[in-house]
Amino acid sequence: MGRLSGRVAIVTGAGRGIGRAIALEYGREGAQVTVASRTASTVDQVVTEIEAQGGEALGVVVDVGERDQVDGMVSKTVERFGRLDILVNNAQGFGTKDEPESSPGYRPIESFPEDVWDLTFQTGLKATLYAMQAAFPHLQGRGGKIINFGSGNGIAAMKGTAAYNATKEAIRALSRTAAAEWGKHGITVNVVVPTILTDSAEAFFEERPGIREKLAGGIPLCRFGDLDRDIGPVAVFLASTDSDYVTGQTIHVDGGQILRP
Parallel, antiparallel, or unpaired: how do β-strands 100-101 and 94-95 relate? antiparallel
Bridge partner list, 143: none
Q: In whole angstroms, give the CA distance from residue 142 to residue 260.
A: 39
Catalytic site residues?
164
In one-letter notation, the amino acid at residue 219 is I
DSSP-assigned states of every residue in 141-210: TTT-EEEEE--HHHHHT-TTBHHHHHHHHHHHHHHHHHHHHHGGGT-EEEEEEE-B--HHHHHHHHHSTT
φ and ψ of 94, to 5 deg: -135, 160
